[in-house]
Amino acid sequence: MSIISALSRLSLKQPSRIPVLISRYKIENKLFLHTTPALCAEPLKKKKRLDPAVIKARDDRKKKRIEKQIRKLEKNARQLKPIEELEIPMVIIDHKKERYRKSPALTAETLEERILLEKQWSQFKKQEYVKDLKMLDRIAYSQQKALDELRKESEELYQEAIQPDLQLIPYGFIGPVETPPIEGYNAPDGDYQDVSKKWE
C-alpha cells in the first residue's frame, strides 16, 4: 500500500499541530495535511413496547373507519362526481332572489310583429327549398337528355361517359402511414402530477 493511496482522502490545508496516523505510516505536520472531522451517527432510539390490547384497539378503529368509508361509497354509488365548472357557487344561490329580474311584458304590437317575421322567414325558406329542388331536377333532366343523345350517336362514347371519374377528387399521401417500432427504445415517462380531487 503506497502512501499516495493512503492519503487520497485527505486534503491539503494549513499545517496542523496534531499528527495524523494512517495505517502503518506516522505522518508529521511537515506535509501540511489535514483530515476531515469524523461524523458520528445518533444512537438508535429504543422501540417502545406497546400493550397488545392497545395495538388491537388501534387496528379495530382503523378497520371501523374503512368499513364506514365503504358504506358511504356504497350509499353514494349512483351519485355522480360533481364537475366544478358546472356547479353553481353557493353565493349565487343565496342571492338568487336579489338577482332575479322579471322579463318585461311584451306589447300586442311586438308580439304581432314577431309572428309576422316568423311567417315571412318560413315562407322565404320554403321558396328557397323549392328553387333548389327545381334546379336539381333541371340538371338531372339535362344530363339524362345529353346521355340519350350521345347513345344514339355512339355506344362506345356513351359507355365511357357513364364511367365514374376517379380523378374528380384527387387523393394522395407521401410516406408510410405506420412506422415500425424502434428496437431498444425506451419511451420517456415524464413527470406526472395528479392534482385531481379525491371524492368520497
Residue spans per domain, the chain: 8-34, 108-161
**Separation between Cα atoms, residue 141 and residue 143, nearest integer Å:** 5
What pTM value is reported for the model?
0.34
For the stretch 29-80, pLDDT in tens is 455 566 777 777 777 777 778 788 888 999 999 999 999 999 888 877 777 7
Residue 3's pLDDT band, with cuts at 50, 70 and 90, is: low
Residue partners of 99: CB distance under 8 A and separation at least 6 = 92
Selection from 87, 84, 90 nearest residue 195 by Cα: 84
Angle formed at CA 36 by CA 35 and CA 42, multiple of 5 degrees: 135
- For 73, 155, 171, 172, 173, the CA distances from 177, given in Å and listed in that order, are 46, 42, 14, 12, 9
